Amino acid sequence: MEPGNETQISEFLLLGLISDPELQHLLFGLFLSMFLVTIFGNLLIILAIISDSHLHMPMYFFLSNLSFCDIGLYSTIVLKMLVNTQAQSGVITYAGYLTQMSFFMVFAVLEVFLLVVMAYDSFVAICHPLHYVVIMNPQFCVLLVLGFWTMTVLLSCLEGLIVLRLSFCSFVESPIFSVNFIRWSNLPVL
């Protein structure tokens, strides 16, 4: 056996923005209101596009998918932050951290892909207006979105598998969050 770190991590401690309880309640209210405005605004965009038949065009189809991604992205991060602020506990399990990271990756990368597709749609509408209906047909638009969903889910799974192979020390700064790793057991290799 090769020597190495055999520490098994069971949970992470997420460091909060402010440790003062009075300011935490203020931040909770502020983030909850911003979260609700974001969710309801994106839901209104989706409902407006679905309900109006004049908006059944590729750009609005991509815009409704972008709104759905925004809802998923904000729900992935802000809900856990709100729960931790209200419970005054910053603990997240290792499986929960991997799940949250995977969903964050899916929605963040999908937003980038959707913005690229929306730029391509604008390019086709401006540079090839007579061929726009042929190039950006509904089947092609659905295939683009499904293809990007598939790519982002596969990319997220790959990232998750890479993170599973990492060994963790007692304290490490995560690129997304500041994370203090709590050791479950420290089993040295003989």
Tell me the per-residue pLDDT of 34-88, one tens digit each, with 9 for 90 and over.
999 999 999 999 999 999 888 889 999 999 999 999 999 999 888 888 887 777 7
pLDDT surpassing 70 at residue 189 = no
Say whether domain 8-182 belongs to CATH 1.20.1070.10: yes
Sign, Cα dihedral of 109, 114, 117, 123: negative
Distance CA 9, CA 158 (A): 20
Q: What is the pLDDT of residue 60?
A: 93
Band of pLDDT at residue 164, cut at 50, 70 and 90: confident
Q: What is the pLDDT of residue 54?
A: 87
Band of pLDDT at residue 103, cut at 50, 70 and 90: very high
Q: What is the pLDDT of residue 27?
A: 81
- Break the chain into its structural domains and give their ranges: 8-182
pLDDT surpassing 80 at residue 190 = no
| 3-class state of residue 183 by DSSP | strand
CA atoms within 13 A on the CB side of 71: 14
List of E strands, the chain: 8-14, 91-93, 172-173, 178-185
Q: Please, what is the end-to-end C-alpha distance for the chain in angstroms?
A: 8
